[in-house]
């Protein structure tokens, strides 16, 4: 029981800490932090699409290097990227790609007993891992160098409906409110628990905790709605558009466009 | 289940974005109509709740753990359209901010988990729970089955999306460019994990939360239970009793087939003098279930049964009517 509650609390705290660190990095000084969020969203999303579309491993590898250099220039520590992005992606995608090295039919390049590693299998694994690592690094760069509310405002560039942007913003805010509530619930339970509970009791605890959270969420939604109404909310949503693109931002946009186009052409 | 970037081709991702878009549009329109100004806070808070639920690791039978998506409970409490939007929002936040699921695969993840999952969960829940009362254990089973089916259908969709990649996208040497396994590997590989671990996690959360809500906040279960009886199962049980009574009435003629007489019902012979004196005090209109004006004993038996049950029903209905009148008067007063 102790282990279960502590693990759950630890994972909740980890998510909370990660968000806090991301925000801290986003407000620090760095190359990408100075770029207009609209340019960053457009540029990094374009590069992610190019990574997905590329038919050459070398192009994907080159974009990975570019992403790592951008991270270094933006005050994003390599150790943090390795811990948050590279290792989990390698662990997850590597586990999926590894059998493909043996199972994909093709020209054998090395033999292991009755099985053989094929060239096609290796290339397939390289595509999968390379794409997953590079795209994850690029999307992490966006979040680590841009405060979330700015990312959301920048989404309006893509004609994302205003109501969706508002809901995404509020969701992000209430994730931390509910996260805090969940942590307090588990802490309270931990302080009242002696000994080890059987798995069935742990399942019951998790279900009850989910039920209580649901109940609180519904009441919270009602309270938030009343608060919004009291401030004059009538269903229309307005967002302040206070971004101003400078000459440097246009240069960045040009750089992203050139890189994306060149990569797309090279990787076709 | 959360498909990362790089597993699906851009064309597949675009097709799934296009497939998800009409559902998002219809959901948004329905939500606007149904909730008006409540929609924004309700969806936001519910998406946040779904996000947190995905972080709860559940201990499962067999010593392993798994996490739920929350699609089952979202569909049961909010209905399928709100669930589609709520889960989609949670998946978008997960992909963009926490890197769980790819940005290019947001359409695919939303299509699988939010759309297929929500619609499947709602349909299964409605079918299995039927018109059972809100507090019925049948609703707990329905919620569990709904969560299990929903997550497995979503996994199946993801497996098919993975499985078609090597067929459609490979380079000149034949190397797969995206998810590398064909359907015959992708489907069992995905389904084994979901039929055993992830499905169980969703089932435990869905059933457990519904059981909790039945005890604590049954009102939250009413939105998706329009035909359910309100009063704790009493109406459902009453219907069952009426049915049992009808069966007993139909079986009444079986008594005619029985030989002899019921033990202990015949007067002792010779009867004590006191009992003999009382026997003439009241003469039943249908003595020994044989009305004197009927020649056929069998028909007399049946008629006695019908008259007897009819009288009991009349007395009960009259009593119920009296009680209702009295309650109505006391409420008005």
pLDDT in tens, A70-82: 999 988 888 888 9
- Summarised one tens digit per residue, pLDDT across range A185-204 is 888 887 887 777 777 777 77
Whether A53 and B10 lie within 8 Å, measured CB to CB? yes
Rounded CA separation A85/A137 (Å): 7
Which residues of chain A have a CB within 8 Å of the CB of B53?
Answer: 210, 213
Q: Of the candidates A92, A143, A214, which has its C-beta nearest B209's C-beta?
A: A214
Work out the minimum CA distance from B252 to partner chain A, whole angstroms: 48
Q: Is A59 on the interface with B (CB under 8 A)?
A: no
> For residue B272, what is the DSSP state?
P
- Interface contact A172-B43, CB threshold 8 A: no
Residue B270 has pLDDT above 90, yes or no: no
CB neighbour list of residue A141: distance below 8 Å, 6 or more residues apart: A32, A44, A67, A70, A71, A74, A76
Best mutation site among A173, A175, A179, A181 for testing chain B: the one with the most B CBs within 10 Å? A175
A75-82 CB contacts, 8 Å cutoff, 24+ apart: A75/A25, A75/A28, A75/A29, A75/A30, A75/A33, A76/A25, A76/A30, A76/A140, A76/A141, A76/A144, A76/A145, A80/A21, A80/A25, A81/A137, A81/A140
Q: Do B73 and A8 touch (CB under 8 A)?
A: no
User: Who among B52, B59, B85 is closest to A182 (CB)?
Assistant: B52
Percent of chain B with pLDDT over 70: 89
Tell me the pLDDT of chain B averaged across its residues: 83
Q: What average pLDDT does the segment A137-143 reach?
A: 90
- A109 contacts chain B (CB < 8 A): no
Q: Is B104 on the interface with A (CB under 8 A)?
A: yes
CA nearest neighbour of B112 among B190, B3, B29 = B3
Query: Measured between CB atoms, does A148 come within 8 Å of chain B?
Result: yes
pLDDT band at B196 (very low <50, low <70, confident <90, very high): confident
Name every chain A residue with its beta carbon within 8 A of the beta carbon of B200. Answer: none
pLDDT higher at B68 or B115: B115
Number of A to B CB contacts under 8 A, please give it: 257
Quick check: B59 and A4 CB within 8 A?
yes
Give percent helix, percent strand, percent coil of chain A, each to the nearest 5.
Answer: 80, 5, 20
**Reported ipTM:** 0.85
Which residues of B are less than 8 Å from A105 in CB distance? 174
Domain limits, chain A: 1-27+160-232, 28-146+244-263
Interchain contact, B208 vs A204, CB within 8 Å: yes
Least confident residue range of A56-65, B74-83, B170-179: B170-179
Q: How far is B130 from chain A (nearest CA, A)?
A: 22
Number of helices (H), then strands (E), in chain B: 13, 2
Give the β-pairing of B57-59 and A115-118: unpaired
pLDDT(A175) > 70: yes
> Is A198 at the interface with chain B, CB within 8 A?
no
∠B112-B117-B118 over CA atoms, to 5°?
A: 125
Fold category of B10-221 in CATH? Arp2/3 complex 21 kDa subunit ARPC3 (1.10.1760)
Provide CB contacts within 8 A for A109, sequence distance 6+: A116, A117, A118, A119, A122
Q: Among A226-240, B10-24, B143-157, B307-321, where is mean pLDDT lowest?
A: A226-240
Nearest alpha-carbon partner for B198 in B44, B31, B49, B64: B64
- Residue ranges per domain, chain B? 10-221, 251-256+286-333
* pTM to 2 decimal places: 0.76
Give dist(CA B152, CA B187) in Å, integer: 11
Is residue B159 predicted with pLDDT exceeding 80? yes
Query: B124 near B146, Cβ under 8 Å?
Result: yes
Mean pLDDT of B293-306: 80
3-state DSSP call for residue B270?
A: coil
In this prediction, residue A1 carries a pLDDT of 44
The reported pLDDT for the residue numbered B308 is 84
């Amino acid at each position: 029981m102790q282990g279960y509650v502590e693990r759950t609390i630890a994972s909740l705290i980890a998510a909370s800490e990660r968000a806090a660190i991301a925000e801290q990095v986003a407000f620090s000084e760095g190359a990408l932090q100075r770029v207009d969020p609209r340019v960053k969203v457009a540029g990094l999303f374009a590069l992610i699409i190019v990574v997905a579309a590329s038919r050459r491993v070398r192009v994907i590898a080159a974009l990975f290097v570019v992403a790592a250099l951008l991270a270094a220039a933006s005050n994003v520590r390599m150790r943090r990227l390795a811990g948050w992005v590279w290792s989990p992606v390698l662990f997850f995608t590597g586990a999926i790609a590894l059998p493909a090295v043996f199972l994909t039919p093709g020209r054998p390049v090395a033999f292991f007993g009755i099985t053989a590693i094929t060239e096609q299998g290796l290339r397939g694994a390289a595509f999968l891992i390379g794409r997953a690592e590079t795209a994850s690094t690029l999307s992490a760069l966006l979040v680590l160098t841009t405060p979330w509310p700015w990312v959301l405002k920048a989404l309006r560039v893509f004609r994302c409906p205003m109501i969706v942007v508002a809901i995404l913003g509020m969701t992000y805010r209430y994730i931390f409110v509910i996260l805090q509530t969940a942590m307090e619930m588990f802490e309270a339970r931990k302080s009242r628990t002696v000994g080890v509970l059987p798995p069935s009791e742990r399942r019951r605890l998790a279900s009850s905790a989910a039920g209580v959270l649901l109940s609180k969420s519904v009441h919270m939604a009602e309270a938030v709605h009343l608060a919004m109404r009291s401030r004059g909310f009538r269903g229309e949503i307005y967002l302040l558009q206070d971004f101003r693109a400078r000459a440097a931002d246009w240069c960045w946009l040009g750089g992203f466009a050139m890189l994306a186009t060149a990569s797309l052409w090279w990787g076709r | 289940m959360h498909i990362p970037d790089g597993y699906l081709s851009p064309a597949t991702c675009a097709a799934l974005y296009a497939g998800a878009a009409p559902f998002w549009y219809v959901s948004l329109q329905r939500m606007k109509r149904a909730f008006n100004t409540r929609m924004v806070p309700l969806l936001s808070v519910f998406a946040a709740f779904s996000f947190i639920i995905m972080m709860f690791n559940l201990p499962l039978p067999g010593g392993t753990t798994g996490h739920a998506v929350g699609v089952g409970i979202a569909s049961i409490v909010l209905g399928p359209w709100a669930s589609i939007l709520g889960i989609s929002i949670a998946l978008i936040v997960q992909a963009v901010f926490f890197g769980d699921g790819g940005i290019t695969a947001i359409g695919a993840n939303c299509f699988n988990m939010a759309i297929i999952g929500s619609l499947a969960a709602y349909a299964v829940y409605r079918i299995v729970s039927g018109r059972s009362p809100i507090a019925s254990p049948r609703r707990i089973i329905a919620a569990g089955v709904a969560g299990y089916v929903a997550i497995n259908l979503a996994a199946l969709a993801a497996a098919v999306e993975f499985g078609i990649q090597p067929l459609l996208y490979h380079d000149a040497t034949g190397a797969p460019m995206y998810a590398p396994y064909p359907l015959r590997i992708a489907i069992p590989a995905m389904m084994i994990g979901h039929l055993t671990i992830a499905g169980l996690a969703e089932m435990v959360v869905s059933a457990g939360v519904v059981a909790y809500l039945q005890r604590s906040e049954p009102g939250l279960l009413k939105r998706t239970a329009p035909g359910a009886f309100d009063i704790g199962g009493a109406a459902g049980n009453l219907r069952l009793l009426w049915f049992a009574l009808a069966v007993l009435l139909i079986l009444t003629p079986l008594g005619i087939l029985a030989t002899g007489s019921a033990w202990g019902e015949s007067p002792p012979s010779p009867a004590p003098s006191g009992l003999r004196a009382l026997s003439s005090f009241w003469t039943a209109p249908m003595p020994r279930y044989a009305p004197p004006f009927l020649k056929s004993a069998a028909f007399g038996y049946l008629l006695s049964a019908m008259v007897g049950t009819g009288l009991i029903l009349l007395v009960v209905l009259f009593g119920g009517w009296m009680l209702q009148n009295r309650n109505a008067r006391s409420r008005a007063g």
